[in-house]
Structure 1
């Protein structure tokens, strides 16, 4: 075999010098890189989701209806806006210029012709004027209304002229032809007494006429051609011309006059045109729709969009939104990327701030556990994103997700961390929305007041109380900030073109808007608190935490596990009750969760139910099961109650904090009695092997919280105090001090953050509680000692 060694590479040679590396480099080399990268990936994914959901590539529209700008708002881009008033005026003009539609029915004119022919046949049927019957005279009277005393134009002469002119046309065919030609235009264009539409509904000088059987074919017609008063004049002229051609003999024009007069008198009774409102409205609407909007130009850096000190109305909001849309449309992709990069840098800075606090001050397991980190980021991203999407002018409800997240974080992570995280969330949302300082103060007041007021949730109405008080605080905060920022003082201040009397309505509107916004914020806080009340069980289940309300329900003596413990191991049950009593007081003395410790103490020894007779508090009649066992075996039986208890708790779905008490209440302490017994036997046996204390220790883990540390001390001192023959206060104090010193020396409190001051307060509380339990009693005369 060769004696040469394998050559070392460069890094191995450098490492052999033992030079200490920077802590960050050393940490990276020692860390589980896959786990670290996965957690970094979760954080980066949450940051990208936040950037995308909050649309950070585009400026947010930051103006709200009723807000008062501190300065004149001047256009940042050049854009055109439709002038609605001028456009509407032009549309109305076009509507008035449309030709109204009229439906033409020529049937009435045909009826007039037929009636004329019938009356003429009655008149012409008389042989002479004197021989006329009454009916014939009445028919003739329709054609003549002259003066009977006038010999030159008497009825007899008129009758004679009528009969002589039409004598050559016994069937009145020439008359029908004359009437057809004379009334052809009236039949085609129609007749009416007066227009049936108003000036706003179309032109008055012309209309559009269509036949009833051909609605799609229409022709424009002058109103004078269809108005009966004017059209009858042209009709008379045309009829005279037809009679001049067809009846040239003397008296023909007089007969034309008689017939035209008869027809003209009856035309108003037989109009042929009817106004079609539906068809006309379609034409008017089409004309209005065809009008191009009248545009008003706003110039970059010149045009004023809103005036300082005057509340924004729908008009100004519309202009600002149009400017905002144009500004986004003109942004280049490089501008959008730079905005996202800037917001990404802000998120990274907040990440670093919050992560540093969590890692160095709070619970670093939130960062070291992928699942806990993911849940934390989901809450933060959801609160900010939901706040972004419901913050529009329609709802302005960004307080709802923020307040709900504040309550959730305070319950899950505690007040200190919740304050930091919600401060970062409020700041992020303010920047994403482009809001001002007043909005940030309002959100911070709502979140901070809810977190500080939350405390311990012992009743179902506690959240409603918190929401009510927080709503009042936020309400006055909004009003106070509005006054401080000068909204009520500058509102409606008279300018050069504004009369001083104008200040009153504007001032009232601003004050009312401020009060309304304050009550809106208070109402949203109440809604959020009420919504979180039924969600508390889901929060406890999802995040593995317990509120006082659920702890009180869990600590009920009727719980199946506690009832079974009292039946199978009454001594252990009594021990658990005593531990719960003294541990709760000790935990309260250092500001820990005493109720959690009390409920945890109820269940911490439930594993002893499997073999209760192996534990001294359940033994009776001096029978000790360990007398027949080796110390190592006895140790295994004793230690097993921790694992058995945890398994039993999981099978009954107890919360994780209670299971942690079961696992941690002994930590890695030594089972001293059996260890010493094993050591003694080993010393007496010449061939015996040395005994290692590792084989006689609980598996742990050591207490991870202050509550678990309190539980360990209370459990130990309560058991040890039972061995005192005369439990005087001094002996109890010496016992507690000795046990506390031993646990501390054994390193049981190294992982829970317990300070010497807190340990001293725990010792004092335990001594006080045990002294009260074992207090001396007055011995009455004749009383025998027990």
Structure 2
């Protein structure tokens, strides 16, 4: 065995002296490092989320429609903006020049050719002009230029009807089936009508070119570009006549052209020319033409207007910003943002990160040293708090755009929620941090901060206890009125947040009258007030969800739970009537005591109704429900103590099973704290003294499991429950005896350390004692004895 002692380290030698370390160092050594790391990670995650959601790396565009700049706005960087008027004019010019699409449907020309042959067959069936029947004469008259003339009046230019009839018979004598004529018409159709026929242009000048069109038969991709003159029916007559004359000479006369061939060609061309308007083949294709116009318009480059840094004026001072000026300012802002380098962006994020860290430090210090520090030490509560404010600030940032301008809505909603959940004092601090953040993220000025502060502060202070359905509507109405007056007052003083309605005539090009300013401010204030009222009213139906999410109760919900028809209370009255009566009495005296110190009296009253519901399982083991037989006479003190103590856990289980809110469950668990069950402890101690063989009794086995009261409400409940039960043992409950009893019980609870964790002060304890004495004295007040009750 090695007899040498182990060499101690230097640190161990220093610690062996027993010199106490500084408190902060010792606290850090004793703290749970993993738990702190998780909470720090939660805080960092919330901060990073804010920095990302609010796009802190780039400056926010701060101008809005109708805002009146206090000085001329000059461009900070060189940039270009599209001149929409000139660009549209250029595009319209290009569109006017683009050939549009027409579809060529050739079937009508086939019908025209067939009709021509049919009418000629009718005429050629006649033997002579005089022997024509009615139908033949009508067909012949379709080909003659005018009514039949006499041979004496016939000329070379205008032959007689007989001459024209004879020419038809002579020319077509060699073509009884009119096959040559059909060939001539086909050649005419191929050479002159192949691109179609158009009576008049079907599109407007702004839809496309009036000189050229694109013609297709099957698909627009196969279209050919032609001039309108080539397809317009009104210009076809000379083309048809010359074409047919050439065809007739070639097909009927060989190399020799006769007068008869020329005359028949004229007659046929005249007949065709008269009927061409009925056989129009081109139809306007609006879909294909629209695509062509869109393509040509898209190909036109925009006409740009240049602005120069330090020279070009973007908006005039004293004039409301309109849509055109806002577009210029937005383009200048984008260009200015793009010029900023990575260092500038990182610096902005770091600056906003420092602001968030400062607000964390401010609010965290207040919570740790003044308010409820569990908000920082409890991960769930910390996460809920940070999530609420990340959502509030993030939504406010995104709905503050010129389109909505409703950043007040989420802030008012958050102020009411925080007032309900965390109380008005902490809510004021938290919402102050929120409106500072929103103002800086939005790049707004002092007047905007004052407006937000007016709305949020008023909503927070007026929220208070919610006992009626209309309470939040009242809060919204008053907050809206205060905000309206604030907007008008601050706007008049600063003169830089005025919104001037459109269409108002101005006194001078660069001045705005006071009435116009007032009118614009009133509209801005009414808009803000409307958002506040709507937000407050919208919270009323979702109050139960808020209570469940944050584990709190409003007076509205507590009042519904205080109904005596609640299943648990009705069952308590049936199974343990003595306990039920005790609970009613405790509720009465505890509510008054809680109100005396500014605690939530209604919560204490409702908690008192339910605080002993665990006694329903074994009501006969509790003195108030016994009728002569004491069940504990047959039990050992330790077993009796277990039965008595069990009603706390049983009550909490019942409450959870019936979905009672967590604050009521906490009151059930804490209303006995870790107090000693004195009667059975004393009984056990007495038996231990009488029997030397039994081990010494420890008071730890006869105490309630706790926890000790964590809130003022739980402390008041503990005192009220104890003094109400003890007062029943007084033989003659005079005011002096009641006061002495209450004082003794209060001193004993305090000496036992039951109030160490609830923050109850001596002053508050004194007020609670006075209230309890007053309430019990009223209950047990002396009555005048009637003569029949006097002793003989």
Please give the TM-score of this superposition, normalised by the length of structure 1. Answer: 0.84
* Alpha-carbon offset, residue 197 of structure 1: 4.2
Contiguous gaps of at least 5 residues in structure 1: 128-132
What residue number does 1:588 align with?
Answer: 595
Aligned partners of 1:651 and 1:138: how far apart in 2? 107
Cα deviation for residue 431 of structure 1 reads 2.6
Equivalence map 1:350-365=2 (5 Å)? 350-365=359-374
Following TM superposition, by how much is the alpha carbon of 1:584 offset from its aligned partner in structure 2, in angstroms? 0.7
Number of the residue aligned with 2:539: 532
Query: Take 2:768 and 2:485, find their aligned partners in 1: how far apart are those partners?
Result: 42
Question: Do structure 1's residue 410 and structure 2's residue 419 form an aligned pair?
Answer: yes
Please tell me whether the aligned partners of residues 77 and 326 of structure 1 are also in contact (alpha carbons under 8 angstroms): yes
Q: Give the equivalent residue in structure 1 for 2:301.
A: 292
> What is aligned with 2:761?
755
Query: What is aligned with 2:40?
Result: 40
Q: Give 1:360 deviation, angstroms.
A: 0.6
Q: Does 2:783 align with 1:777?
A: yes
Once the 2 structures are TM-superposed, how far is the Cα of residue 149 of structure 1 from its aligned partner?
Answer: 6.7
Question: What is the Cα deviation at residue 361 of structure 1?
Answer: 0.7
Deviation at 1:287, TM superposition (A): 2.6
Matched, 1:388 2:397: yes
1:355 deviation in Å?
1.0
Show the 5 A alignment for 1:169-568: 171=174, 186-188=192-194, 195-209=201-215, 212=217, 217-224=222-229, 232=237, 256=262, 260=266, 263=269, 267-271=273-277, 274-278=281-285, 279-486=288-495, 500=507, 514-568=521-575
**Which of 260-269 and 387-396 deviates more?**
260-269
Mark the CA change 1:396 to 1:490 in structure 2 (over 3 Å): closer, same or farther.
Answer: closer
8 Å CA contact 1:310, 1:506 repeated in 2: no
C-alpha contact (below 8 Å) 1:479/1:514 kept by paired residues: yes
Aligned to 1:130: none
Q: Within 2, Cα distance between the matches of 1:166 and 1:676?
A: 149
Q: Is the 8 A contact 1:475 1:522 kept in 2?
A: yes
Work out the CA distance in 2 between the residues paired with 1:408 and 1:611: 41
User: Aligned partners of 1:152 and 1:702: how far apart in 2?
Assistant: 135
Whether contact under 8 Å (1:426, 1:444) holds in the other structure is yes
- Displacement of 1:138 after TM fit? 6.2
What secondary structure is seen at the aligned counterpart in 1 of 2:674? coil
1:734 aligns with 2:740: yes
Displacement, 1:88?
Answer: 1.6
**Matches of 2:742 and 2:43 in 1, distance apart?**
47
1:721 to 721, 724, 727: 727
Between stretches 351-360 and 14-23, larger displacement belongs to: 14-23
Following superposition, the deviation at residue 708 of structure 1 comes to 1.5
Contact 1:492 1:504 (C-alpha < 8 Å) held by counterparts: no
Asked whether the 8 Å contact 1:586–1:766 carries over to 2, the reply is yes
Structure 1's 348 and 193: CA in aligned 2 closer, same or farther, altered over 3 A?
closer
Query: What is the CA-CA distance between 1:558 and the residue it aligns to?
Result: 3.0
1:675, distance to aligned residue in structure 2 (A): 4.8
Post-superposition CA distance 1:244-266 (Å, at most 9, x none)? 99989999679858964884586
Taking a change above 3 Å as real, the CA distance of residues 112 and 511 of structure 1, as seen in their structure-2 partners, is farther
After superposition, give the CA deviation of every residue in 1:654-679 in whole Å (9 maximum; x if it has no partner): 33322322332233334444555556
Alignment partners' CA distance in 2, 1:192 and 1:244 = 28
1:488–1:450 distance in 2 versus 1, CA, 3 Å:
closer
Q: Partners of 1:607 and 1:164 in 2: how far apart?
A: 128
Pick from 698, 701, 706 the counterpart of residue 707 of structure 2.
701
| Residue 88 in structure 1 maps to residue 88 in structure 2 | yes
Distance in 1 (alpha carbons) for counterparts of 2:160 and 2:535:
104
Whether the 8 Å CA contact 2:82–2:305 is kept in 1: the answer is yes
Structure-2 change in CA distance of 1:273 and 1:289 (3 Å): farther
Deviation string 1:108-142 (CA, Å, 9 cap, x unpaired) is: 88579759977996999679xxxxx9899968963
Aligned pair in 2 of structure 1 residues 502, 261: CA closer, same or farther (>3 Å)?
A: farther
Question: Helix, strand or coil for the counterpart of 1:81?
Answer: strand
Measured after TM superposition, the shift of residue 611 of structure 1 is 4.5
Gaps of 5+ in 2: 131-135
**Partners of 2:99 and 2:208 within 8 A in 1:** yes
The 1:641–1:784 alpha-carbon spacing in structure 2 relative to 1, beyond 3 Å, is farther
TM-score (norm 2): 0.83
CA distance in 1 between partners of 2:702 and 2:142 (Å): 141
Report the Cα offset of residue 357 of structure 1.
0.9
User: What SS class does the counterpart of residue 787 from structure 2 fall into?
Assistant: coil
Q: Does the CA contact (< 8 Å) of 1:668 and 1:701 recur in 2?
A: yes
Deviation at 1:235, TM superposition (A): 6.3
8 Å Cα contact 2:105-2:281 kept in structure 1: yes
The 1:509/1:240 distance shift into structure 2, 3 A limit, reads farther
Residue equivalent to 2:586 = 579
Distance in 2 between the 1:26 and 1:737 partners?
A: 39
Cα 1:273/1:201, change in 2 over 3 Å: farther
**Would the alpha carbon gap of residues 456 and 209 (structure 1) be closer, same or farther in structure 2, given more than 3 Å must change?**
closer
Q: Shift of residue 763 of structure 1?
A: 1.8
